[in-house]
Amino acid sequence: MYKNRGLIDLADEVKSQRSALLVLGCPQVPVQTSIALYLIHRLRQAGISPVVAGNRSAVTLLVVADPKRHYLGEALDLDRAIDQITEKKRDFDLCFVFIHNDAGVSYAATMGAISKARLYAIIYGEHYDKIVSSIEFPCINIAANAVHNPMPLKKMLDEVAPWAV
């Protein structure tokens, strides 16, 4: 009886586990891979299951940096992730979109329109302030002037602590 109860508890836990989608941008700005791995780590620590979506280069940078998948879990092609969410086959509790250019803003707006997830825009790069001012849709901005050094962006991420919400 005790055993069965444990199984039921486990099933409930799996069912109720929150999930997060990390939408990667073009990987040409170095801080993206570092901050993505850090965010994945914090989400896991908080019991949130992270899924990464990006183009081949962005995802491969993570796969190579974490060969034993200590941090990285499921990784999806970006177009496939958008297809699944738009077709209501899948959704997430949290969504983080990495933005350093205009295309990133378009992807964030798209996620805001197609997903019910709580939307976070992680904005970085030398033009981060212009990007912040161009965002007119509802989302939580986490922004810093970070190109090579991830620490300013990590600091902002720690202050917002989206994994604790």
Partner 1 sequence: MGCIESLPYEVIMRGGSFKECRDYVRKQFGESRDVQPGFKIFDTHIIGVPPISIGLDGDFVIFPFTKPCHGTFLLRVEDKAEADRLRKRK
Q: Does 60 bind partner 1 (CB under 8 A)?
A: no
CA of 107: how far to CAs of 1, 22, 23, 24, 136, in Å?
49, 12, 8, 9, 13
Provide the minimum distance between the beta carbon of 95 and partner 1 in the complex, in angstroms, as a whole number. 13
For partner 1, which residue of 12, 13, 74, 83 counts as binding (CB under 8 A)? 83
> Which residues inside 88-117 make contact with partner 1, applying CB under 8 A?
101-107, 109-110, 113-114
Q: In this structure, are residues 126 and 152 in contact, taking their beta carbons and an 8 Å threshold?
A: no
Residue 121: other Cβ atoms inside 10 A = 26
Segment near partner 1 (CB under 8 A), from 4-12, 34-42, 79-87, 156-164? 79-87
Residues 6 or more apart whose CB falls under 8 angstroms from that of 89 comprise none
Q: Give the residues lining the site for partner 1 (CB under 8 A).
A: 24-26, 28, 54-55, 57-58, 78-80, 82-83, 85-86, 101-107, 109-110, 113-114, 134, 136-137
